[in-house]
């Protein structure tokens, strides 16, 4: 067949265009603090033990925002952000137990399976952990390749609900660590999405929850949407006296820090009842310190809570299915993937815009 020069050009254009539609898709890189760049990348090739997913939703969390600001520990640039996500299976092996077209979320903590933590069934704090979107590139791209054992079935949840499962699982894990008893006073310091997840599961566990924050809008949100009876704003009241009044001078027997703020972490021990547990969920780059006599006289238990386990994901999914937690309370802002930018992140970081959870859609 004879092909003219113009036809050859058109044929080459078609091949290149068609290849870009099939073999290359777009990813969003945070190339340095405060700066994003869209780039093409090759769609990953599926291999044994891994499933190819088409991303549908990505929730923007504090980790993503802090990485954008340049204040996130364990972080190197450039990096594709995003670990709270829902997706649809594009390609998988029958041995995975999943099928093409199935909606899923993922457990974004890729553990080694061999270290002391993994051997003791604590994969969430694996010595060699790779957190998706933190240590390795994450979900703000059109396709991702994920180990089969990190897939989580939808159990009928919506794409939005699936994308909220991971941050809620952080709260579920912290509450599981605390071993809350029915009726005990629990203080949650910091009412961002992680703090709200802690509030939800502490409430479900039977706690009398007290929420503390300097953000009036978030405290009001907790009162209205999360059925929080007691709220404290330390900028407008004496937090210690308020806690004494609420608890009849007993003080909270469990205190969670979900701020990651150094001053808040250092102060939290002063709010703890004697014999109580202080659980650090928020992450801070600097050293924290307590007055030893204050810590010692309480016979305090100091704990950290990192990531979550599959059991925590199952707890969240069950709670969402039962209506114990309403996903619609959390998503306050939405945008399309192609519209994600530095301007968007700056907007979401501004407290005056009252962002609880921003959700990125790929539809």
Which among 59, 40, 93, 11 is positioned nearest to 327, based on CA atoms?
59
Q: In the prediction, which pLDDT does 22 show?
A: 56
Phi and psi angles of residue 31, each rounded to the nearest 5 degrees, phi first: -85, -20
Q: Domain-by-domain residue ranges, the chain?
A: 20-154+330-361, 171-304
20-154+330-361 matches 171-304 in fold? no
pLDDT digits (tens, 9 = 90+) for 323-357: 999 998 999 999 999 999 999 999 999 999 999 99
Q: In the prediction, which pLDDT does 20 show?
A: 45
Phi and psi angles of residue 92, each rounded to the nearest 5 degrees, phi first: -155, 160
Give the pLDDT mean for 89-105.
Answer: 95
What is the per-residue DSSP string for 51-114?
EEEEEEEEEE-HHHHHHHHT--TT--SSB----EEEEEEEE--GGGS--TT-EEEE--EE--SS
Q: In the prediction, which pLDDT does 212 show?
A: 98
Least confident of 100-104, 254-258, 326-330: 326-330
Strands 130-131 and 109-110, sheet pairing: antiparallel
Give the pLDDT mean for 212-239.
Answer: 97
Residue 75: band (very low, low, confident or very high) from pLDDT cuts 50, 70, 90: confident
Q: Is the peptide bond before 78 cis (omega within 30 degrees of 0)?
A: yes
Q: In the prediction, which pLDDT does 74 show?
A: 75
Give the pLDDT mean for 36-58.
Answer: 95
Give the pLDDT mean for 275-302.
Answer: 95
> 345-352 — which CB contacts under 8 Å span 24+ positions?
345/36, 345/60, 345/64, 345/65, 345/68, 348/60, 348/65, 349/65, 349/68, 349/69, 351/215, 351/217
- In CATH, the number for domain 171-304 is 3.40.50.720
Percent of the chain at pLDDT > 70 equals 94
pLDDT digits (tens, 9 = 90+) for 126-163: 999 999 999 999 999 999 999 999 999 999 999 999 99
* Fold of the domain built from segment(s) 20-154+330-361: Quinone Oxidoreductase; Chain A, domain 1 (3.90.180)
Strands 185-189 and 254-257, sheet pairing: parallel
Q: Which residue has the tokens 């997913």?
A: 53
What is the per-residue DSSP string for 166-195?
HHHHHHHHHHHHHTPPTT-EEEEE--SHHH
Number of helices followed by number of strands (H, E) in the chain: 11, 17
Q: Over 32-49, what HEC string results?
A: ECCEEEEEEEECCCCCCC
Residue 17, pLDDT above cutoff 70: no
SS3 214: coil
pLDDT digits (tens, 9 = 90+) for 195-208: 999 999 999 999 99
Mean of per-residue pLDDT scores for the chain: 92
């Amino acid at each position: 067949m004879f092909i003219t020069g113009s036809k050859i050009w058109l044929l080459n254009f078609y091949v290149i265009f068609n290849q870009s539609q099939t073999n290359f898709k777009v990813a969003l890189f945070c190339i340095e603090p405060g700066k994003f760049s869209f780039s093409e990348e090759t769609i990953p090739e599926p291999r044994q033990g891994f499933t190819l997913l088409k991303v549908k939703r990505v929730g923007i969390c504090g980790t993503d925002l802090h990485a954008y600001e340049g204040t996130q520990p364990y972080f190197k640039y450039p990096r594709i952000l995003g670990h709270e996500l829902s997706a649809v299976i594009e390609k998988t092996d029958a041995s995975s137990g999943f099928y093409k077209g199935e909606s899923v979320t993922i457990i974004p903590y890729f553990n080694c399976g061999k270290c002391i933590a993994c051997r003791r069934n604590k994969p969430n704090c694996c010595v060699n952990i790779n957190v998706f979107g933190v240590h390795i590139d994450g979900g703000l791209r059109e396709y991702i390749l994920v180990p089969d054992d990190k897939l989580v079935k939808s159990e009928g949840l919506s794409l939005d609900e699936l994308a909220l499962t991971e941050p809620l699982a952080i709260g579920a894990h912290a509450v599981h660590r605390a071993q809350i008893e029915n009726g005990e006073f629990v203080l949650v310091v910091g009412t961002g999405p992680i703090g709200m997840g802690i509030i939800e599961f502490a409430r479900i566990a039977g706690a009398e929850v007290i929420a503390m924050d300097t953000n009036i809008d978030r405290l009001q949100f907790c009162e209205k949407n999360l059925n929080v009876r007691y709220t404290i704003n330390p900028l407008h009241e004496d937090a210690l006296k308020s806690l004494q009044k609420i608890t009849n001078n007993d003080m909270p027997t469990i205190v969670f820090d979900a701020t990651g703020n150094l001053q808040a972490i250092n102060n939290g021990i002063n709010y703890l009842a004697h014999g109580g547990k202080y659980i650090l969920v928020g992450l801070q780059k600097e050293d924290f310190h307590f007055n030893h006599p204050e810590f010692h006289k309480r016979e305090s238990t100091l704990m950290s809570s990192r990531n979550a386990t599959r059991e925590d994901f199952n707890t969240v999914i069950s709670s969402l299915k039962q209506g114990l937690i309403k996903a619609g309370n959390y998503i306050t802002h939405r945008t399309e993937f192609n519209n994600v930018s530095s301007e968007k992140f700056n907007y979401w970081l501004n407290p005056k815009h009252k962002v609880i959870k921003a959700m990125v859609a790929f539809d």
